[in-house]
């Protein structure tokens, strides 16, 4: 096999944006994402509506701002992953210029709750997470990456913790247990979900 049969020149066939905004409740995720969307919308000369999947009820306060920027916005209140998947199709087909999911955390929590309800689980075991995380990757993450279009989502923030080392004496006996301390921030969604913090 020859190299030119194996690989082709690197080209850019479509231009689109995917971004996420994470933070704690009241930190301004929705407003920041909105400002980002408006800037990208204008920079890219878009003209189709922005579709908002809203479960934070924050899109209503954006109505005057969308009107000011002459951007049509349509909304659906939902926490359903099926609705997110359907919205990906509207983005892919070009019926909307942007998809704005506010917040993906609630979609993820509903996804877990639906799994628990369907399997009559009060508590999630390691085996359950071994099933649900690959399914989330298949049903959300892969589709998110493959959808050719502009998508922005917000997610609730949470702290990451790590355990400090135990204090030991000269004989290696633990004299004081290390405590758990905040070590960082992460979005409250599955770890394999494509986003940057």
Instruction: Give the pLDDT of residue 159.
Output: 62
CA distances from 156 to 27, 36, 107, 182, 196 (A): 10, 18, 11, 17, 13
Q: What is the pLDDT of residues 169-186, one digit of tens each?
A: 888 888 888 777 766 666
Averaged pLDDT, 57-69: 90
C-alpha angle 22-26-27 in degrees, rounded to nearest 5? 45
Superfamily of domain 15-157: P-loop containing nucleotide triphosphate hydrolases (3.40.50.300)
Smallest Cα–Cα separation from 133: which of 105, 112, 149?
112
The residue ranking higher by pLDDT, 96 or 129, is 96
Averaged pLDDT, 72-78: 96
> What proportion of the chain, given as a percentage, has pLDDT over 70?
90
Q: What is the pLDDT of residues 103-149, one digit of tens each?
A: 899 999 999 999 999 999 999 999 999 999 999 999 999 999 999 99
The structure tokens listed for 45 are: 């000369």
3-state secondary structure of 101: strand
How is the chain split into domains, by residue range?
15-157
Poorest-confidence range of 12-21, 45-54, 85-94, 140-149? 12-21
């Amino acid at each position: 096999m020859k190299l030119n049969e194996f690989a082709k020149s690197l080209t850019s066939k479509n231009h689109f944006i995917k971004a996420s905004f994470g933070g704690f409740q009241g930190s301004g995720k929705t407003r920041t994402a909105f400002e980002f969307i408006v800037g990208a919308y204008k920079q890219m000369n878009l003209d189709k509506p922005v579709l908002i999947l809203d479960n934070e009820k924050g899109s209503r306060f954006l109505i005057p701002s969308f009107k000011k920027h002459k951007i049509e916005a349509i909304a659906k209140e939902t926490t359903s992953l099926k609705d997110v998947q359907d919205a990906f199709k509207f983005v892919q087909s070009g019926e909307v210029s942007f998809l704005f999911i506010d917040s993906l955390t609630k979609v993820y929590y509903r996804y877990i709750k639906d799994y628990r309800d369907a399997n009559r689980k009060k508590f999630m075991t390691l085996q359950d997470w071994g099933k649900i995380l690959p399914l989330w990757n298949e049903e959300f993450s892969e589709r998110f990456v493959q959808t050719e279009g502009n998508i922005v989502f917000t997610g609730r923030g949470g702290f990451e913790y790590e355990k400090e080392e135990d204090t030991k004496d000269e004989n290696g006996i633990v004299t004081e247990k290390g405590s758990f301390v905040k070590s960082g921030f992460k979005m409250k969604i599955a770890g394999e979900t494509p986003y940057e913090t």
